[in-house]
């Protein structure tokens, strides 16, 4: 039996506890419910818990059940909402229907009625999963996917094999509509190490692709095709600024795929291009972004322009038997692995040089590629090479063993510089976010979305990096900062509690008192009196 997560939301804890005791949750196919005292707390819990079902009271302080449902439906479209209330006004029921609530139950709640409701919800959730994972349906969908000519066109496009002046004709012939005005490519990587029992990996990828098509087509006009074992999206944006919003939508779909399809996916998002002829460059960036999952984790979207804003994709390194693998390791691997790969490369290539002339040509090309890679990644050449000497001439005089050591040192140095720049960029926007909080913590509209818009990054990337750097979510950091300021004002001023609440960013004094008590264990007034 599938087991689903439940959250109960009610400001009357005794009511919630009674509901939890009424049912045998485990035998019904649910985990023991998580309890939240109000809508705001439920939103915080939902980010961590990702519940399948939320049963909420309607009348609550700070955020009522209707507003909570609207927020949850926006963040988690597949979530199931059950309302229970002592109010039977028609307007409440009508709004519940509009929000696609599963049930609207009046208090007092009957145990048999409640069990029947959750049984129906469990069956509905099972049907959703069965529909996504039904082998016969997936096989039929796979056979009815995009025609071969369209698949071939998109594959040629990301490979850069179509002349600019022929792209429009091919799209007309194959009835493909891509109007832009700007585009980007994204790659959907499905982990092969986390496949549900009895599910074929190919069919699981098809299930994920169908979910993406259902959710992304209308807003972003995405075109989907299979290429080198992955699903690739070409998205159409109104402007380059939309890349962050696109990345956030992809990030939400990674979590949705985990919930519905039981798939662990990562979406790599490439750079924005003004024309379809630049999609090959965007695709290379998306491929690099997917590789960064070893650093930033799975089940999320990774935008190459955010994690490496100074780097540019360079497809001129050749295949994986040449320098490409070493250059990739400089970005992704540790120093020891970089050095080992560099030494192997020199040893393998110097052995096959038939003459001194060939050896010198090999060395000249090697130095040229290093220069090109360093410049592409915006690195200072003086930090890598001795600019007071002729590097070409110096390196050509090295014996193979000396060349091996020199190349290993240079590759490790470049790796360290790239790693430092990446971490410096990350620290920079985390610091900017912290500085903004210090200057604007009294702003009641300050939120994750607001700060991400201010910084120009997606909330998916920001949330991951901010927690990694500070150990807290942004909301948690902001709350702690506001509470520290409130504590100081309580001790150092004679201001009323409601004034202090406004000064630290809370429009509702009651909610401020609730958060303060949760932080310090007592109400603001008792805290002040106790210190005095």
- Domain spans, the chain: 6-133, 148-307, 324-422, 441-531
Name residues whose C-beta falls within 8 Å of residue 176's C-beta, 6 or more positions apart in sequence.
Answer: 150, 153, 170, 223
Share of the chain above pLDDT 90, in %: 49
pLDDT of residue 317: 36
pLDDT of residue 320: 41
Confidence of residue 145 (pLDDT cuts 50, 70, 90): low
Mean pLDDT of all residues belonging to the chain:
87
Could you tell me which CATH number the domain at 148-307 has?
3.30.70.270
Predicted TM-score (pTM) of the model is 0.49
pLDDT of residue 93: 67
**Strand runs labelled E in 195-277:** 223-227, 230-237, 265-269
| Structure-token match 């913590």, residue found | 441
Question: Dihedral of the CA atoms 149, 150, 152, 155 (nearest 10)?
Answer: 180
Fold of 6-133: Rossmann fold (3.40.50)
Confidence of residue 136 (pLDDT cuts 50, 70, 90): low
pLDDT of residue 138: 64
As a whole number of angstroms, the distance between CA 372 and CA 326 comes to: 14
- Is-same-fold flag (6-133; 148-307)? no
Mean pLDDT of 265-274: 95
Residue 386 has pLDDT above 90, yes or no: no
pLDDT of residue 463: 87
As a whole number of angstroms, the distance between CA 336 and CA 6 comes to: 47
Q: Which residue has the higher pLDDT, 170 or 322?
A: 170
175 DSSP 8-state letter: T
As a whole number of angstroms, the distance between CA 18 and CA 442 comes to: 39
Domain 441-531 = CATH 3.10.20.30: no
As a whole number of angstroms, the distance between CA 157 and CA 283 comes to: 10
Nearest to 217 by CA among 171, 177, 164, 255: 177
Residue 315 has pLDDT above 60, yes or no: no
Confidence of residue 269 (pLDDT cuts 50, 70, 90): very high
Helix, strand, coil share of the chain (percent; to 5): 60, 10, 30
As a whole number of angstroms, the distance between CA 525 and CA 512 comes to: 12
pLDDT of residue 427: 66
Nearest to 53 by CA among 20, 4, 120: 4
């Amino acid at each position: 039996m599938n087991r689903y997560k439940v959250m109960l939301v009610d400001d009357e804890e005794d009511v919630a506890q009674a509901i939890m005791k009424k049912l045998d949750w485990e035998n019904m196919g649910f985990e023991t419910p998580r309890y939240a005292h109000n809508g705001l707390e439920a939103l915080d819990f939902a980010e961590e818990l990702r519940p399948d079902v939320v049963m909420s009271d309607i009348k609550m302080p700070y955020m009522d059940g209707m507003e909570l449902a609207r927020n949850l439906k926006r963040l988690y479209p597949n979530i199931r909402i059950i309302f229970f209330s002592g109010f039977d006004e028609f307007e409440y029921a009508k709004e519940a229907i509009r929000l696609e609530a599963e049930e609207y139950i009046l208090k007092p709640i009957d145990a048999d009625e409640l069990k029947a409701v959750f049984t129906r919800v469990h069956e509905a959730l099972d049907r959703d999963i069965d529909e996504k994972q039904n082998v016969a349906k997936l096989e039929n969908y796979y056979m009815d996917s995009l025609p071969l000519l369209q698949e071939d066109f998109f594959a040629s496009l990301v490979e850069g094999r179509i002349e600019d002046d022929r792209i429009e004709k091919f799209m007309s012939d194959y009835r493909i509509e891509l109007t832009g005005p700007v585009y980007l490519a994204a790659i959907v990587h499905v982990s092969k190490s986390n496949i549900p029992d009895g599910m074929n990996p190919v069919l699981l990828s098809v299930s994920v692709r169908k979910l993406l098509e259902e959710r992304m087509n209308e807003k972003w006009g995405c075109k989907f095709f299979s290429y080198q074992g992955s699903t690739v999206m070409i998205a159409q944006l109104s402007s380059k600024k939309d890349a962050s919003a696109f990345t956030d939508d992809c990030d939400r779909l990674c979590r949705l795929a985990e919930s519905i399809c039981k798939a662990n996916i990562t979406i790599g998002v490439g750079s924005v291009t003004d024309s379809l002829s630049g999609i090959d460059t965007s695709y290379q960036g998306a491929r690099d972004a997917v590789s960064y999952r070893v650093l930033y984790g799975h089940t999320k979207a990774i935008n190459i322009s955010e994690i490496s804003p100074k780097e540019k994709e360079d497809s001129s390194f050749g295949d994986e038997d040449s320098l490409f693998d070493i250059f990739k390791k400089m970005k992704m691997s540790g120093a020891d692995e970089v050095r080992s790969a560099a030494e192997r490369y020199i040893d393998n290539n110097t052995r096959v040089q038939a003459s001194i002339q060939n050896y010198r040509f090999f060395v000249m090309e090697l130095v040229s590629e290093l220069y090109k890679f360093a410049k592409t990644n915006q690195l200072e050449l003086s930090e890598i090479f001795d600019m007071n000497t002729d590097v070409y001439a110096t390196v050509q005089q090295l014996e193979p063993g000396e060349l091996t050591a020199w190349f290993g040192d240079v590759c490790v140095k470049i790796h360290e510089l790239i790693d430092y720049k990446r971490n410096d960029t990350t620290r920079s926007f985390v610091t900017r976010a912290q500085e903004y909080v210090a200057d604007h913590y009294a702003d009641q509209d300050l939120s994750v979305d607001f700060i991400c818009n201010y910084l120009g990054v997606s909330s998916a990337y920001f949330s991951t990096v901010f927690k990694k750097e500070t150990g807290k979510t942004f909301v948690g950091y902001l709350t702690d900062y506001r509470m520290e300021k409130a504590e100081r004002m309580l001790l150092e001023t004679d201001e009323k509690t409601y004034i202090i609440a406004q000064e630290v960013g809370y429009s509702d004094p009651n909610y401020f008192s609730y958060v303060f008590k949760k932080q310090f264990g007592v109400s603001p007034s008792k805290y002040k009196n106790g210190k005095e």
